A = this chain, B = another copy of it.
Amino acid sequence: MILMNISILLIIVEMVIPISAWDNGLLRTPPMGWLSWLRFTCEINCEQYPNSCINEKLYKDMIDRIAEDGYLQVGYKTVNIDDCWMEKKRDPKTKQLVADRKRFPYGIKHLVEYGRERNVSVGIYEDIGTKTCAGFPGIDNHEQIDAKTFSEWGVDSIKMDGCFALINEYNQTYPNFRKALEKQEHRIAYSCSWPAYIANNSVPDDVYEVIKENCNYWRNYDDIVDSWESVKKIILFYGSKNKQFKKFHGPGGWFDPDMLLIGNNGLSLEQSKTQMNFWSIWSAPLMMSADLRRITPEFKKILQNKELISINQDRDGRMASLIYKTDKIQIWTKKLAASAEGEPSSYVVLYFYMYSLGIDLNIRFNVSKLIPREEIQDEYLVFDLHDADTVMKIISSEENLELRVPSSGGSRIVKLVPVLKNENLFETNEDTLDNFCDY
């Protein structure tokens, strides 16, 4: 069956249920930056791998690339250290964590200053248990010292992992560190791996409520690895939990489906677009993890897609809604913040096709099935978000939105912008409609 049986399509009205986030004022939009784990993991042999071991040079190189290669301008602004940055033991006198003396000879504060001079902030990694996942010192009851250390160093975010700790104590240990952070002068965004360690990734609402009260974002699924299978599993998982996640996701508190693989070896170009499309409509943290010194232009273009980033950074920060699914196809929509009080909202529509055989698929849905009845407008401008300089077409609420979607994990993403009544398109939108006659 090529065309969808749209009669079984479900429209889920966007319900905003306010659930309070930790009110540290940070991350009112999802964080954007770079995190070393996926690509560089825990390689500490700098003799054999001088350009890709975990050391000061690596993070400085990434700060440079972010500052100089256009990433900063589109919103990526934090370079995040992951595991394996420390000495194997705390300072015996002060009990402070110490950066590896060979690999970070000038310490983390120096790295933070290097970043600040380039308008790039630095994030750091620690673990809520006795050891980090790779065996370096964990918090181990040093919340106060560590929060103070991080604050003094000036890091802007902390990823708190959950290895070597009792999961049933997370509801004390993670909040304890949040309280320690609150005592510091410097405000630090707090990423909690807490729900990622809960069995079967099945986290009840009351636990997510506590997580949201304590954390700015939270990993809640298996570590991503550099393969399409891994991305697909995350998409299916986020689809299966969509109703729950929508309730908790929003400014100040974000579900984190893990790093962007884009620019590494595991995804094809279409699959890379698909990951960026999903992370954007989910308003998920955009954490790159490619070697930005060697990335090729087609992947850089995806990561720097301003249209997608503006969807991701939409001020309402809604998690998109899964409105239709089969084994091969999913349709998601995201309501964007209205341009002004009382104005109708634009919607983003994503068609996703995961079947790994055959030709690209023409998928079509009636616009009236994509946008809730209470909100639908008579006409929309349709923008392809990977080629948004021109309007694809004008579509009425009675028409079908038909898009050709690449197979094997491809997707298409468009924005539907309401045409205001009495608006004369060809006078008011001259720029965007330059090429409209070509269609």
Residues of A bordering B, CB below 8 Å: 2, 38-41, 43, 45, 48-49, 52, 225-230, 264-271, 356-360, 362, 406-410
Are A265 and B410 also in contact (CB < 8 A) when A2-B48, A45-B2, A228-B228 are?
Answer: yes
Which of B229, B267, B356, B362 has a CB less than 8 Å from the CB of A226? B356
Point out which of A357, A362, A407 has the most chain B C-beta atoms below 10 A from its C-beta: A357
A43 to B267 alpha-carbon distance, docked (Å): 27
Q: Which residue of B lies closest to A264 (CB)?
A: B408
Complex Cα distance, B299 from A268, in Å, reads 12
Assess the B268–A357 pair: CB atoms within 8 A: no
Number of copies of this chain in the oligomer?
2
Residue of B nearest to A51 (CB): B359
A265-B270, A271-B265 are known contacts. Are A41 and B228 too (CB-CB below 8 A)?
Answer: no
The answer to whether B41 and A357 touch across the interface, beta carbons within 8 angstroms, is: yes
A406 to B410, CA, bound (A): 24
In the complex the two chains form, what is the Cα distance from A2 to B47 in whole Å?
A: 13
Inter-subunit contact B362/A48 (CB<8 Å): yes
User: Closest residue to A53 on the B side, CB-wise?
Assistant: B359
Task: Give bound CA distance, A185 to B41, whole Å.
Answer: 63
B residues within 8 A CB of A266? 228, 268, 271, 356, 408-409
Contact B359 A226 (CB under 8 A): no
Residue of B nearest to A406 (CB): B265
A267 in contact with B265 (CB, 8 Å): no
Bound-state Cα–Cα, A228 to B360, Å: 18
Given contacts A2-B48, A227-B228, contact A408 B356 (CB under 8 A): no
The answer to whether residues A52 and B359 also contact, given A265-B270, A406-B265 and a CB cut-off of 8 A, is yes
Q: What residues on B are CB-neighbors of A229 within 8 Å?
A: 227-229
Whether the Cβ atoms of A358 and B227 lie closer than 8 Å is no
B265 near A226: Cβ-Cβ < 8 Å: no
Measured CB to CB, the closest approach of chain B to A222, in angstroms, equals 12
In whole Å, how far is A301's beta carbon from the nearest beta carbon of chain B? 14
Asked whether A43 lies within 8 Å of B228 as measured between CB atoms, the reply is no
A225: B residues at CB distance < 8 A: 356-357, 408
Of the candidates B41, B356, B359, B410, the one whose C-beta lies within 8 Å of that of A49 is: B359
A413 CB to closest chain B CB (Å) equals: 16
Find out whether the CB atom of A358 lies under 8 angstroms from the CB atom of B40.
yes
Contacts of A356 in B (CB 8 A): 225-227, 230, 266
Cα distance A342–B267 in the bound complex, in angstroms: 46
Q: Are B40 and A359 in contact (CB under 8 A)?
A: yes
Contacts of A40 in B (CB 8 A): 358-359
Nearest chain B CB to A135's CB is how many angstroms away? 16
List 20 other contacts, CB 8 Å, given A48-B362, A265-B408.
A2-B48, A38-B358, A40-B358, A43-B359, A49-B362, A225-B357, A226-B408, A227-B229, A227-B409, A228-B229, A264-B407, A264-B408, A265-B269, A265-B271, A265-B406, A265-B409, A265-B410, A266-B271, A266-B356, A266-B408
- In the bound complex, residues from chain B placing their C-beta under 8 Å from that of A362 are 48-49
Nearest 6 CB-CB pairs, A to B? A266-B408, A265-B408, A41-B358, A225-B356, A226-B408, A265-B270
Write the nearest CB–CB distance from A355 to chain B, whole angstroms. Answer: 9
21 A-B contacts (beta carbon < 8 Å): A2-B45, A2-B48, A38-B357, A43-B359, A49-B359, A49-B362, A52-B359, A225-B356, A226-B357, A226-B408, A227-B356, A227-B408, A227-B409, A228-B266, A229-B229, A265-B269, A265-B271, A265-B407, A265-B410, A266-B356, A268-B268
Q: In this complex, what residue of B is CB-closest to A41?
A: B358
